[in-house]
């Protein structure tokens, strides 16, 4: 591991501040979409949240500010954005419940796998690049789907096709990344059993 990539215990870093801002964006999006019914501003919050997902990781490596807190905050913000957006979209019928169920089933599967790892005294394995790619695609798909829901005519048609193309692609990669994660868990458990035999 190179020097810039070593984990530090720092809290107030630029990437961590971006992650905190992303976390604050979750309730802001829910308010704008479900309460204030400001679809345009809700789309903007989703776009900023999705874009900043890439920016905080890039800055952490670029500035040598990779931290343990950052490693925890980034996936937490991703999951909260995805879960909050999905639930809000399902309530307002932007996406069908089956799509939401498919994503939630993947999350539930990984939570069970994480419990298995913790029973063996381990935390979660490093985030796989495929999982990051799937998350980025989903976070990009959500504002496009919301744009389709809130518009009509040509904008609706283009956004609808693009949004669902990205959403299904992201869902497929999300599950594929989940299967790779489960393989990592299985391999670790097998090695643990051999070591303790």
Whole-angstrom distance, CA of residue 65 vs CA of residue 72: 14
Confidence of residue 103 (pLDDT cuts 50, 70, 90): very high
Whole-angstrom distance, CA of residue 19 vs CA of residue 4: 19
Whole-angstrom distance, CA of residue 35 vs CA of residue 168: 28
What pLDDT is attached to residue 3? 38
pLDDT in tens, 10-51: 677 887 888 888 889 999 999 999 999 999 999 999 999 888
Least confident of 56-60, 154-158, 169-173: 56-60
Q: Is the pLDDT of residue 149 over 60?
A: yes
What pLDDT is attached to residue 39? 93
Selection from 117, 140, 126, 134 nearest residue 175 by Cα: 134
Whole-angstrom distance, CA of residue 35 vs CA of residue 56: 29
Whole-angstrom distance, CA of residue 7 vs CA of residue 121: 20
Question: For the residues of 120-159, what is the DSSP string, one character each?
Answer: TT--PPPPPHHHHHHHHHHHHHHHHHHHHHH--HHHHHHH
Whole-angstrom distance, CA of residue 49 vs CA of residue 26: 8
In CATH, what number does 3-196 get?
Answer: 1.20.120
What is the average pLDDT across 171-177? 95
Confidence of residue 2 (pLDDT cuts 50, 70, 90): very low
Full-model pTM: 0.81
What is the average pLDDT across 85-98? 95
- Whose tokens are 């800055």? That residue is 59
More confident residue, 31 or 75: 31
């Amino acid at each position: 591991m190179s020097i810039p990539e070593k984990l530090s215990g720092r809290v107030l870093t630029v990437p961590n501040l971006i992650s905190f801002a992303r976390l604050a964006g979750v309730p802001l999006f829910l308010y704008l979409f479900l309460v204030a019914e400001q679809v345009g501003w809700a789309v903007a919050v989703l776009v900023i949240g999705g874009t900043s997902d890439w920016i905080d990781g890039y800055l952490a490596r670029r500035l040598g500010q990779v931290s343990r807190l950052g490693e925890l905050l980034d996936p937490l913000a991703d999951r909260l954005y995805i879960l909050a957006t999905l639930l809000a979209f399902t309530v307002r019928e932007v996406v069908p419940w089956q799509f939401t169920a498919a994503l939630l089933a993947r999350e539930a599967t990984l939570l069970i796998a994480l419990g298995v790892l913790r029973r063996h005294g381990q935390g979660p394995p490093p985030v796989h690049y495929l999982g990051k790619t799937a998350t980025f695609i989903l976070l990009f798909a959500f504002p496009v789907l919301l744009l389709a829901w809130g518009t009509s005519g040509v904008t609706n048609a283009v956004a609808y096709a693009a949004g669902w193309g990205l959403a299904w692609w992201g869902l497929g990669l999300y599950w594929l990344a989940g299967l790779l994660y489960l393989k990592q868990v299985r391999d670790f458990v097998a090695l643990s059993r051999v070591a303790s035999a």
